Structure formats: C-alpha cells, structure tokens
Amino acid sequence: MDCKKTVRLINRFLEDDLETEELQDFLDHVKTCEECNEELTIAFLVKEGVARLENGSVFDLQKELDTTINKADHSLRIREGMQWVYYLIIGLIVVAITFLILILVFL
Ligand SMILES: [Zn+2]
C-alpha cells in the first residue's frame, strides 16, 4: 500500500471500517512509514482530542492510539483465525463428499 492510499484510509481506520485485507495493508504500512504514522497520529488526536476537550477529561492520546492499533491488530488476527477455520471446514466438506462419492462408486 502506498502513502496516498494509506492517508485516504485513515478516517475509515479510525471508524473501524476497513476490510480485513485493507486493515492488514494499512497497519503494515503505518508501522513502517513514519510520515503516515504521523498523519494517523494527528488525525487521531484531532478526532479524539476534540471529544475529550468537550468533556474535560484528562488523557494520554498517544497511548490510546497505540491501544487502538493493538486492538486492530488483535481483531485482525481473530479474523484471520476465523478464515483459517472456514477453510478447514470447507476442506473437510470436500474430503467428506469425495469419500462419499468413492463409496458410492465402489459399492
Ligand atoms: Zn506512508
């Protein structure tokens, strides 16, 4: 993913609205690209900071951004895990059907 696309996806990332693949590419890029990481930090600070200033709570937004990124990483791993289970089930079904066909052919 290039910087231009990454920057375009920042708002959707903050809304937790990225597809699995987009999220993976986005996180990979943001972790390695200092400029996009900075863009993300600023967007996060603006979005969260305004909300916090309104209700006057004390905050450590850099830490919260890290938490947000970690959560996204975590949900990405869960989604990937689900995908693996999905493929496993499909695989088992294919094996079962093949087995049934073989039994029917040889009986
Ligand atoms: Zn970049």
Cβ 7 vs Cβ 36: under 8 Å:
yes
Q: Residue 6: how many CB atoms within 10 A of its CB? A: 23
pLDDT score, position 45: 86
pLDDT at 24 over 90: yes
Q: Which residue has the higher pLDDT, 90 or 62?
A: 90
Q: What is the mean pLDDT of residues 2-23?
A: 94
Of 32, 13, 33, 15, nearest in space to 23 by CA: 13
Total domain count, the chain: 1
Ligand 1 ion local residues (Cβ < 5 A): 3, 33, 36
Q: Which residue has the higher pLDDT, 13 or 106?
A: 13
Percentage of residues of the chain with pLDDT beyond 70: 95
**Domain encompassing residue 20:** 3-106
Cα–Cα dist 54/32, whole Å: 33
pTM of the model: 0.63
Distance from the CA of 31 to the center of ligand 1, in angstroms? 9
Distance from the CA of 32 to the center of ligand 1, in angstroms? 8
